Amino acid sequence: MKIVSMLLMLSLLATSCVKKDDVAKVLKENPEILADAIKANPVQFLEAIQFAAENAKKEMAKKREEDEKKKFEEAFNNPLEPQIRKDEMIRGPKNAPITLVEYSDFQCPFCQRGFNNVQALLKKYGKNIRFIYKHLPLSFHKEAMITAQYHEAIRLQSEEKAWAFHDEIFKDIQRLRMGEKFLKKIAKKVGANQKRIDKDKSSAAVMNRIKEDQAEAAKFGMQGTPGFLLNGIPLRGAYPVSEFDKIIDRLVKDGKIKLN
């Protein structure tokens, strides 16, 4: 109704010499004028509302696009700096020009999509990219935290086995609903020692590491999963590979990285 009132006001202003305040006063004191006008011209008013709504959508989309471009430029000028610990698990060459950090939840279906995208990026960029996985288990995913604990406990045994566990989980996250029964099965499959997992999974070393990842994710505004940092430039969501390509192309173009 507010839109209709505005349209009627604009119509009156465009077709007669009348002050805006006067039109508003008349409509307020005599709302039946508006009702009668709508009844007399229902089709025209409906078309006008639809036209206004479409224009509003276009303007909102344009504003969102401009805001995204602004944020994108700000990200390039002020990239975020994730902590890369001395014992960080890194997939790929440690001196690669591209650093991809993911904040992820093992039980998140969007993170499974993110996993597939990361695999594609690792294959595409080869020795030019290194990947770091960090934990952001969400409270409403029942098995997310215990899976993160298993992953960290296995990392204490072997990074190779921890990566294998990571990959196996994301290949079939639906079976996480089976709980630790499934986790034990995957741990056995990758060759991890279950007794050591049971000992380490709730240790301070494991829990503190997960908390560190969660705190860093929160600091960078990663409220959902997956969240990525590509050379410090954030991508919050399971974006397609093409969006990562755009950032990499820009980094190359600006001379910030050089691919081999």
Task: Tell me: pLDDT of 49 over 90.
Answer: no
Tell me the pTM.
0.76
Residue 23 DSSP code? H
Q: What percent of the chain has pLDDT over 70?
A: 87
Assigned CATH class of 98-253: alpha beta
2-16, 108-122, 191-205: lowest mean pLDDT where? 2-16
Q: What is the mean pLDDT of residues 28-35?
A: 72
Question: Which tokens go with 84?
Answer: 């890369």
Burial (CB count within 10 angstroms: exposed 0-12, middle 13-18, buried 19+), residue 90: middle
In which residue ranges of the chain is CATH 3.40.30.10 found? 98-253
Q: What is the average per-residue pLDDT within 85-110?
A: 96
Query: What's the rounded mean pLDDT across residues 102-111?
Result: 96
Question: What residues contact 194, with CB distance under 8 A and at least 6 apart?
Answer: 184, 187, 188
13: pLDDT strictly greater than 60: no
Taking the CA atoms of 202, 203, 206 and 207 in sequence, report the sign of the dihedral they define.
positive
- What are 97's two structure tokens? 């020009």
The more confident residue out of 26 and 135 is 135
d(CA 173, CA 188): 17
Say whether pLDDT at 54 is over 90: no
Supply the pLDDT for residue 35.
74
Span 45-55, mean pLDDT?
Answer: 80
Residue 143 binned pLDDT confidence (cut-offs 50, 70, 90): very high
